[in-house]
């Protein structure tokens, strides 16, 4: 791929104007939006209003005057179109871990007599940990966790499986499941399915309603750009609203929380998913960040993210210095999410040295250099610059310096 082609790709980029919505540091190429999305300009502006006027001046009256109490639902309604979900099925609260616990426990109750919880062995660790914790809590007689390789899921799916828990896009290699096909397969066995959308929501079109998905979770701080620790979201298909119950009962999930009754009566629909008092500042930040997706065609996100990945691969092949990097992501673009992962024995040190050269990606243990493509912010010219910088880091060997070999607390 030559420079003229890259210039043309940027000139024809339908999403180019969206980059102006984000506060991006000068001289930095950011290829880590799949870990933490960049800061939209709208967020600090909105937070200033929420903190100084709503909290600072209107104090507790803001729960009513400025609608703080309804933020989990309002933010959920903004996320719903990104998931292909009609209103009233998405709520924003807590973390993926907490929401997974609620969904897993509730799903087991919806399938009495079935005890198996099926998942993928290289699923995101928190998904596995939550499932392991639930198994320990309930005991094997009520919950039996089984983890298998991705290509074994169909073979081990049987009539005693209650629920299958899968990540749509694998966090390590970016491999993407066929959500529609797997959901149909699970339903044919009478089981339920929970999808983790942490690495797909906000970067590709999804059709949860059309694909008949039962439940889903996702986070607000990756491609949704809601800030570090932004609240997660949960999707509960409307057909389950009357029967589904989640086990973490709290006052905000009560039908009438301000009646302060001693006995729990669940709120209707997805509102019962709330537990404690909503985190207003975090919700407000995510609320403002989601405006970046207004009037956006999600197909354009997918098209550009795949094009960025293909550009990166083609440019890498032109650099002999990068020959030792082994692509572990699916080579076929349509089978992966918005990322590429490469194995290299010095991946961690190279990632840190690359960052000092102005390109921020990330490392995943034990040996993966992971590159995320946020189509709202990344230019094709930056892909060329990033590959050239990576080749230079490898050629000059700076990554071998002791300062890059020492692991930081957050990798």
Catalytic residues: 124, 196, 221-222, 370
Alpha carbons 403 and 335: distance in angstroms, whole number: 37
SS3 content of the chain, % helix, strand, coil (to 5): 45, 15, 40
Distances (CA, A) of 260 to 46, 251, 257, 274: 32, 8, 6, 16
Return d(Cα 282, Cα 93) in angstroms, integer. Answer: 10
Q: Are 34 and 370 in contact (CB under 8 A)?
A: yes
CA distance 97 to 129: 9
369-384 in b/e burial notation, b at 16+ Cβ within 10 A?
Answer: bbbbbbbbbbbbebbb
For residue 115, the 8-state DSSP code is: -
For the chain, the straight-line distance linking the first and the last C-alpha, in angstroms and rounded, comes to 32
Token pair recorded at residue 19? 């980059």
- Give the DSSP per-residue string, 266-322: BPSGGGGG--S---HHHHHHHHHHGGGGTT--HHHHHHHHHHHHHHHHHHHHT-GGG
Residue 100 contacts residue 165 (beta carbons within 8 Å): yes
> Is 339 within 8 Å of 312 (Cβ atoms)?
no
3-state secondary structure of 175: strand
């Amino acid at each position: 791929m030559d420079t003229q082609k890259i210039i043309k790709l940027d000139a024809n980029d339908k999403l180019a104007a969206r980059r102006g919505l984000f506060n991006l540091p000068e001289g930095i190429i950011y290829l880590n939006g799949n870990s933490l999305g960049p800061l939209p300009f709208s967020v600090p502006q909105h937070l200033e209003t929420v903190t100084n006027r709503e909290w600072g001046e209107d104090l507790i009256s803001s729960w009513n005057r400025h609608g703080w109490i309804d933020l989990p639902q309002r933010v959920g309604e903004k996320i719903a179109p990104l998931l292909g979900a009609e209103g009233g099925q998405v709520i924003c609260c807590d973390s993926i871990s907490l929401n997974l616990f609620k969904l897993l426990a509730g799903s087991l109750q919806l399938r009495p007599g079935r005890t198996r919880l099926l998942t993928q062995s290289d699923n995101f660790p928190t998904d596995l940990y939550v499932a392991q914790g639930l198994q320990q809590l309930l005991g094997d007689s009520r919950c039996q966790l089984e983890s298998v390789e991705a290509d074994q899921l169909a073979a081990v799916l049987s009539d005693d499986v209650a629920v299958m828990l899968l990540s749509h896009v694998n966090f390590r290699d970016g491999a993407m499941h066929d959500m529609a096909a797997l959901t149909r397969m699970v339903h044919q066995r009478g089981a339920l399915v929970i999808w983790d959308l942490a690495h797909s929501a906000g970067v590709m079109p999804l059709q949860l309603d059309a694909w008949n998905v039962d439940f889903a979770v996702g986070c607000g701080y990756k491609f949704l750009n809601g800030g570090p620790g932004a609240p997660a979201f949960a999707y509960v298909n409307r057909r389950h609203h009357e029967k589904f119950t989640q086990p973490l009962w709290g006052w905000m999930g009560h039908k009438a929380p301000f009646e302060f009754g001693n006995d729990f009566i669940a709120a209707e629909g997805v509102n019962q998913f709330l537990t404690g008092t909503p985190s207003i500042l975090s919700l407000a930040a995510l609320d403002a960040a989601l405006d970046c997706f207004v009037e956006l065609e999600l197909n354009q996100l997918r098209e550009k993210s795949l094009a960025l990945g293909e550009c990166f691969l083609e440019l890498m092949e032109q650099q002999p210095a990068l020959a030792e990097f082994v692509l572990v992501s699916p080579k076929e673009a349509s089978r992966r999410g918005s990322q590429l992962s490469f194995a290299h024995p010095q991946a961690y040190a190279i990632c840190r040295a690359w960052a000092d050269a102005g390109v921020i990606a990330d490392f995943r243990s034990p040996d993966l250099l992971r590159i995320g493509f946020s189509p709202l912010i990344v230019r094709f010219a930056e892909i060329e610059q990033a590959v050239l910088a990576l080749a230079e880091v490898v050629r000059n060997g700076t990554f071998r310096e002791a300062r890059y070999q020492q692991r930081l607390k957050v990798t």
